[in-house]
Structure 1
Amino acid sequence: MRIAVYERYGPPEVVHLQEAAEPVPGATEVLVRVEASTVGASDAAGRNGTPRFARLFFGLTTPKHPVLGSDFAGVIERVGDGVTRFAPGDRVFGTLAPAMGAHAELVTIAEDAAIARIPERLTAAEAVATVDGFLTALPFLRDVAAVTPGQVVLVNGASGTVGSAAVQLARHFGATVVGVCGPANAPLVASLGADPVIDYTGEDFTEARGAYDVVFDAVGKRSFRAARRSLTAHGIYLTTVPSAAILVQWPVTRWFSRGRRAAIAFTGLRDIRLKAAELALLVELIEAGEFVPVIDRTVAFDDIAEAHRRVDTGHKAGSVVIAMSPADERAKVTPAASASETRATR
């Protein structure tokens, strides 16, 4: 089988394909022939070795996880003797996180881990595009912020992988959602349920006073200090990006503040049993038409460096998907269908 590897930190070109031995599933594992995976911000950080604290996980001087990628979608090729939930031929999707290794044509995963059958209406590319954003945004909004109906939730970076999922989930929880993005992606964000949509090139959302119950900075571009006055008296600021400031503000405001708070959650490190339950919820929402995939583009596995280049721009809308099969003509580097088109055909 082919895998995408890198031996040193650097630009997208350090990632290349090579042959590797096929993995063998254990007694309670399944072997998945991967049809689609994704390249996300964590993969780009791991490849580049920046910010520097990322090397605490990826390796201080050289990469210790030579195969990146956590999310996958494909078809089960073989199962272990003790597997009861799945059978060969099942279409499945899920995540290996916090482990990596999904940028490969075959992966193994325990049957009780974060793996589920792909909803009938989705392709493998569409299914894998939902995983990272959903499993990141859900704990922030449901568990940390405890979003309830009638609240106002602002999502900064609302067109990205996590941001687009956050818009849909906040809407599902009954909140009024304000999306912040560039003008090109405003129609997409509006189609996901944000109203209004703020163009960050012409308006600074932090200039509002006491407007938002939750500010979810899904791209780590605005600080708690900058966003603080835009929060209601007991509002909460959330960010996905670790920094020295937030690592201090998080416990201090949690334990000592009776007003506005700041928080971060390390969603990728959570117990696999939690992720498995959340993946089941994702399937329910997809089948109910309440959650749709957002794909920036689909790139052939042979061109994985191009996927990394796209992520490095910081301007993708939704997920950058890798199609593993070289024969798949849909795997050319072209933008995929928008979420608004997906909603129109569901």
Structure 2
Amino acid sequence: MRAAVRTTYGGPDVVRFEEVPDPVAGPGEIVVRVRATTVNRTDCAYRSGRPWINRVYCGLPRPRVQILGSEFAGVVTDVGEGASSYAIGDRVFGFVDGRPGAHAEQVVVGVDGLVARVPERWDLAEAAPGMEKAHYAQACARVSGARAGDRVLVHGATGAIGSALVQLLHSAGVGVTAVADRLPSQHAGLLGELGADRVVDLSAGGSLDELGGGFDAVVAATGHLSFGAARGLLRPGGTFISSELGRAGQHLALAAAAPVAGMLGRRRVRFPFPHADAAVAAHLARLMAEGGFRPVIDRTFAFAELQAAYAYVETGRKVGNVVVVMPE
């Protein structure tokens, strides 16, 4: 099969196309013929090896896994022993991590992980970005503890995590204030359409100061807001969540103290460790089927344009997700 591989860390130019052996389904696995994939921040970090801590996980001095790509949508072509919940011909979408990925014509997927059937009437390219950032958004929603009637501020709301989180919270009856670092004119009404009750565009002169306080939770969906900056926005006992570790891992350290802070009624930090299992995948697929969640797609690239897709994601200008469509 044809795959995009890289054997060293670096920029988009380290990615090249090669013929590699077709994958085979093992016990509890299926093989999926990839019809669409995505390029996201996770892929870029694994490809570049930045920050350097990624290389501890991905391999030193060279990456262990050569085929990147964490999201996919496609058609099942082989079913391994113990994976009978799926059948050849099923349309599926999902997320793989830490193994040869979806920037290839085929990918092997464990059925107990983040994989689900594509809802009816959904195109495969539309479904492809429905799992990776959405399951991180689901983790943020879960650890926020937000319930119907609560107020949550989502900072970085036009990103893939943020745009998913706005929808997940709205579907749960939570009041959402969406803050964007920039809101391009062609997407001016996007966040309101996704369910935000209030939108603040920082690039157009909006400010966090105008929001006052009293939020039950503040989520830094792109990691560009610190606990110190968010503290005044939270009610006493409110929760701050970030998708990033923070400088010197401070968010992990603060999260370790969260139980004590909670008992004392103080503002606390929680880190959104995701649950990457079939139950989460089924939940997201159900929301998609019911109209409660639709991944936002910024641009679509052909597989041959994969380097360009990586370069665009790294500009930091994308709104939502970048999809890559495989050739027929």
Is the shorter-chain TM-score for this pair beyond 0.5, marking a shared fold? yes
Mapped partners of 2:34, 2:43: distance in 1: 17
Map 1:312-331 to 2 at 5 A.
Answer: 312-325=314-327, 327=328
Structure 1 CA distance for aligned equivalents of residues 240 and 197 of structure 2: 20
Q: 2:279 aligns with which of 274, 277, 280?
A: 277
* Equivalent residues of 2:158, 2:183 under 8 A apart: no
Q: Which amino acid aligns with 1:23?
A: P
Residue 100 to residue 233, structure 1, CA distance change in 2 (3 Å):
farther
* CA deviation after TM superposition for structure 1 residue 98, in Å: 4.7
SS in 1 for 2:3: strand
Cα pair 2:35 2:73 within 8 Å, conserved = yes
Shift of 1:207: 6.0
Amino acid across the alignment from 1:39: V
| Comparing 249-258 and 83-92, the one that deviates more | 249-258
| Distance (Å, rounded) in 1 between the aligned partners of 2:68 and 2:41 | 11
Q: How does 1:164-243 map to 2 (within 5 A)?
A: 164-181=163-180, 182-184=182-184, 185-201=187-203, 202-205=205-208, 208-243=211-246
Match of 1:263 in 2: 270
Q: Distance in 2 between matches of 1:98 and 1:24?
A: 17
- For 1:120, the equivalent position in structure 2 comes to 120
1:332 aligns to what? Answer: none
**Closer, same or farther: CA 227–207 of 1 in aligned 2, 3 Å:** farther
Instruction: Supply the distance in 2 between the matched residues of 1:203 and 1:56 (Cα, whole angstroms).
Output: 40
Structure 1 SS opposite 2:161: helix
Whichever residue aligns with residue 50 of structure 1, its letter is R
Q: Structure 1 residues 311, 281: CA separation in 2 closer, same or farther (over 3 Å shift)? A: same
SS of residue paired to 2:68? coil
Aligned to 1:290, which of 292, 317, 327?
292
Deviation at 1:92, TM superposition (A): 0.8
Partners of 2:146 and 2:100 lie apart in 1 by: 31
Gaps of 5+ in 2: none
Task: Provide the rounded CA distance (Å) in 2 between the counterparts of 1:66 and 1:322.
Answer: 18
Read off the aligned partner of 1:231 and give its amino acid letter.
Answer: L
Describe the SS at the equivalent of 1:31: strand
For the residues of structure 1 that align with 2:113 and 2:211, how far apart are their CA atoms? 43
- Paired residue total: 320
RMSD between aligned residues? 1.7
Equivalents in 2 of 1:316, 1:137: separation in Å?
A: 17
Residue aligning to 2:22? 22
User: Is the contact between residue 261 and residue 267 of structure 2 (CA under 8 Å) also seen in structure 1?
Assistant: no
Q: Secondary structure at the match of 1:130?
A: coil
Give the corresponding residue for 1:53.
Answer: 53
How far apart, in 2, do the equivalents of 1:207 and 1:266 lie? 31
The share of aligned pairs that are identical, in percent, is 41
2: distance between equivalents of 1:98 and 1:278?
Answer: 19
Partners of 1:74 and 1:42 in 2: how far apart?
21
Give me the whole-angstrom Cα distance separating, in 1, the residues matched to 2:161 and 2:288: 16
Structure 2: which amino acid aligns with 1:38? Answer: T
Measured after TM superposition, the shift of residue 29 of structure 1 is 2.2
Gap change, CA 1:308 and 1:80, over 3 Å in 2: same
The alpha carbon displacement at 1:9 in A equals: 1.7
Task: For residue 133 of structure 1, report the CA deviation from its aligned partner.
Answer: 2.2
Other structure's SS at 1:148 match: coil
Code of the aligned partner of 1:266? F
Pair 1:149-2:148 in alignment: yes
- Displacement of 1:186 after TM fit? 3.6
1:254, CA displacement in angstroms? 3.3
Q: CA deviation at 1:204?
A: 2.5
Query: Counterpart in 1 of 2:11?
Result: 11
Q: Retained in 2: the 8 A contact 1:186–1:199?
A: no
* Paired position in structure 1 for 2:80: 80
8 Å Cα contact 1:93-1:115 kept in structure 2: yes
TM-score (norm 1): 0.88
Task: Return the offset for 1:65.
Answer: 2.1
1:79, distance to aligned residue in structure 2 (A): 1.8
Q: Alpha carbons of 1:164 and 1:100: their partners in 2 closer, same or farther (altered >3 Å)?
A: farther
- 1:104 and 1:180, CA in 2 relative to 1: closer, same or farther beyond 3 A? same
Alignment of 1:61-140 (within 5 A): 61-140=61-140
Once the two structures are superposed, what CA deviation does each residue of 1:247-284 show, in whole Å capped at 9, x if it has no partner?
221112333452101122232xx4x5xx2101111121
8 Å Cα contact 2:36/2:324 also seen in 1:
yes
TM-score by length of structure 2 reads 0.92
Say whether 1:309 aligns with 2:308.
Answer: no
